[in-house]
């Protein structure tokens, strides 16, 4: 067993726990606050970087604790400016994150992963074909945002404006680290981001949506809907069999009632499956109980899946029908498809 594995990862400690640990070492509590700032606001990945600590204290920290940052394994650059990054974790597992730049709208978004693999087996998603290995730690999620922020500054001269939990994994099945990472991202001692700039996307787990509401989450919530009736949704998203649309609508209404936070539906359009005007009419019925925005997404093919991208005119007709009935609709054209960085394509491919 390596020495690193016998040490405590210092980034698992809260600020108060760090302060207490420093008191035990015979140091004043404010040293813990200094270390916390180094770890989160300044992004230190080694104790040697903490230059306002004595060499003796840095040595003690080195002996008792470790820092396990993610490491960039590979970066791919799309013709449209999208950057996909593959990161290696301390235990050798790989995850992916994506920088989605829209310079003309001054929007620079990090799409981050929360699990190694995924357990939900959605039929249209490459990640769903990987088994779930483990949840990420909060620090591993935070590191992705920090990395992608640096990429945004380097390539576009702009910091991130948004973070979406839409990468590998189901965020509500990694609830603790996801919420801890959001607390770090929004803390003045971390990145100081507004929670209104953060969106958590879920395939739909009713009891966990209710827990988000009970916990007073201030983030935006996106439901990966993709079909507006249970029969079709069961066919492409097995999670719907235990979390049907009636249960999800009840949970979302509860979430909105308690938080007033923005809710959106993500809707991938599949040719001749869910893209008819009849499907749009069914979708409208799911938009009556609370304000909702609809994002229609182009399908991005993955190997072995039987789906075909809906024709542009069918997507336009679908969106027009929704708008004519007062819905706020955005058609999201795929970005990063040439590097397998688009929605549903993250799978650690070489």
Per-residue pLDDT of the chain (350 residues; tens, 9 = 90+): 444 557 999 999 999 999 999 999 999 999 999 999 999 999 999 999 999 999 999 999 999 999 999 999 999 999 889 999 999 999 999 999 999 999 999 999 999 999 998 888 788 887 767 778 899 999 999 999 999 999 999 999 999 999 999 999 999 999 999 999 999 999 999 999 999 999 999 999 999 999 999 999 999 999 999 999 999 999 999 999 999 999 999 999 999 999 999 999 999 999 999 999 999 999 999 999 999 999 999 988 777 778 899 999 999 999 999 999 999 999 987 666 665 655 545 555 55
- 205: CATH: 3.20.20.70
Q: Give the closest residue to 346 by CA, choosing from 68, 79, 87, 70.
A: 87
Q: Which residues pair with 254 in a beta bridge?
A: none
283 shares a domain with 167: yes
190 shares a domain with 95: yes
What is the number of domains present in the chain? 2
Q: Which of 19, 27, 66, 96 is catalytic?
A: 96
162, part of any domain: yes
pLDDT, residue 132, reads 84
Q: Which of 122, 125, 287, 343 is catalytic?
A: 343
Query: Could you give the CA distance from residue 92 to residue 115 in angstroms, rounded to a whole number?
Result: 14
9, part of any domain: yes
- Residue ending a domain, choose from 33, 50, 66: 66
92: left (phi over 0), alpha (psi -120 to 50) or beta: left
pLDDT, residue 122, reads 86
132, part of any domain: yes
102 shares a domain with 46: no
- Residue ending a domain, choose from 50, 66, 82: 66
Q: Residue 296's domain spans which residues?
A: 71-339
44 shares a domain with 92: no
Q: Give the closest residue to 191 by CA, choosing from 93, 112, 117, 255.
A: 112
Query: Could you give the CA distance from residue 218 to residue 170 in angstroms, rounded to a whole number?
Result: 19
pLDDT, residue 149, reads 97
345, part of any domain: no
Residues 6+ apart with CB under 8 A from 228: 245, 274, 279, 282, 283, 285, 286
**At residue 219, what are phi and psi to the nearest 5 degrees?**
-85, 170
pLDDT, residue 346, reads 52
254 shares a domain with 330: yes
122 shares a domain with 52: no
324, part of any domain: yes
β-pair type (94-102, 107-111): antiparallel
Using the structure block, give the residue that is written with the tokens 């945004």.
Answer: 152
Cβ contact 109:162 at 8 Å: yes
23 shares a domain with 90: no
C-beta neighbour count of 188 within 10 angstroms? 7
118 shares a domain with 250: yes
218 shares a domain with 151: yes
Q: Is 118 a catalytic residue?
A: no
- 34: CATH: 1.10.150.530
256, part of any domain: yes
- Residue ending a domain, choose from 16, 43, 66: 66
347, part of any domain: no
Cβ contact 166:141 at 8 Å: no
pTM: 0.92
Using the structure block, give the residue that is written with the tokens 């690193």.
Answer: 4
302, part of any domain: yes
114 shares a domain with 97: yes
Q: What letter would DSSP give residue 28? A: -
pLDDT, residue 2, reads 46
184 shares a domain with 224: yes
Q: Give the closest residue to 164 by CA, choosing from 216, 92, 241, 222.
A: 222
144 shares a domain with 183: yes
Q: Is 140 a catalytic residue?
A: no
The two tokens of residue 271 are 């040719």
């Amino acid at each position: 067993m390596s020495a690193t594995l016998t040490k405590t990862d210092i980034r698992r400690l809260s600020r108060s726990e760090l302060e207490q640990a420093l008191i035990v070492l015979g140091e004043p509590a404010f040293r813990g606050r200094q270390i916390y700032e180094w770890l989160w606001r300044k992004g230190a990945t080694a104790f040697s970087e903490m230059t306002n600590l004595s060499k003796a204290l840095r040595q003690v920290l080195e002996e008792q604790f470790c820092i396990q940052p993610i490491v960039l394994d590979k970066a791919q650059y799309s013709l449209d400016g999208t950057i996909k990054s593959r990161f290696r974790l301390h235990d050798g597992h790989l995850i992916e994150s994506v920088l989605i730049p829209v310079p003309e709208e001054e929007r620079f978004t990090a799409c981050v992963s929360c699990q190694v693999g995924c357990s939900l087996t959605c039929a249209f998603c490459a990640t769903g074909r990987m088994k779930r290995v483990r949840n990420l730690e909060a620090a591993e999620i935070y590191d992705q945002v920090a990395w992608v922020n640096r990429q945004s500054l380097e390539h576009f001269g702009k910091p991130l404006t948004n973070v979406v939990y839409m990468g590998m994994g189901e965020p509500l099945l990694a609830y603790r680290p996801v919420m801890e990472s959001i607390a770090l991202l929004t803390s003045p001692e971390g990145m100081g981001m507004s929670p209104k700039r953060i969106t958590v996307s879920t395939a739909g787990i009713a009891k966990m949506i209710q827990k988000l509401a009970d916990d007073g989450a201030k983030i935006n919530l996106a439901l990966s809907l993709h079909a507006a009736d249970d029969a079709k949704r069961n066919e492409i998203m097995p999670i719907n069999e235990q979390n049907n649309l009636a249960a999800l609508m009840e949970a979302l209404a509860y979430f909105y009632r308690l938080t007033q936070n923005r809710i959106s539906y993500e809707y991938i359009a599949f040719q001749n499956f869910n893209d008819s005007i009849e499907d749009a009419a069914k979708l409208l019925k799911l938009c009556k109980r609370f304000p909702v925005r609809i994002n229609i997404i182009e399908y991005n093919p993955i190997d072995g899946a039987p789906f075909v991208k809906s024709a542009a005119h069918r997507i336009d007709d679908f969106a027009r029908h929704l708008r004519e009935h007062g819905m706020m609709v955005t058609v999201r054209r795929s970005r990063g498809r040439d590097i397998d960085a688009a929605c549903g394509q993250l799978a650690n491919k070489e």
